[in-house]
Amino acid sequence: MGNLRTKSKTMINKRLSKLSILTLCTVFALTGINTFEQLLSLNGREAGHYNRVLAQTSDEQLNRRVYQKASPAVVTVKTETGHGSGFVISQDGLIITNAHVIKPPPRSEEEAKTYKPAEFPQVVTVVFPDGRKFSADVMGFGKGGLDLAVLKIHGQQNLRTLALAAPGSAKVGDRVFALGTPLDAKFSDTFTQGNITRIDPSDGEIQHNAVIMGGNSGGPLLNSQGQVIGVNTSGIGELNTGMNFSIPVPQLQSFIVAARKKMFLQFLPYLHELKNHRFGQLHSMVK
Number of domains in the chain: 1
Residue 100 known to be catalytic: yes
Question: Is 22 a domain residue?
Answer: no
pLDDT in tens, 219-251: 999 999 999 999 999 988 665 677 999 999 999
From 217, 234, 246, 283, the catalytic residue = 217
Q: Please check the confidence at residue 267 and state whether its pLDDT lies above 60.
A: no
Quick one: pLDDT at residue 259?
A: 85
pLDDT in tens, 129-158: 999 999 999 998 888 889 999 999 999 999
217 is catalytic: yes
Residue 43: per-residue pLDDT: 60
Answer yes or no: is pLDDT of 286 > 60: no
Among candidate residues 147, 208, 234, 246, the one labeled active-site is 147
Average pLDDT value for residue range 70-78: 97
Domain around 94: 68-286
> For residue 63, is it within any domain?
no
Q: Does pTM surpass 0.85? A: no
| 56: in domain | no
**Residue at 268 is within a domain:** yes
Catalytic residue among 83, 85, 100, 283: 100
**Can 49 be counted among the known catalytic residues?**
no
Q: How confident is the model at residue 272 (pLDDT cuts 50, 70, 90)?
A: very low
Mean pLDDT of all residues in 259-266? 66
Q: Say how far apart CA 227 and CA 269 lie, in whole Å.
A: 30
Where is pLDDT greater, at 21 or 199? 199
Contact 105, 269 (CB under 8 A): yes
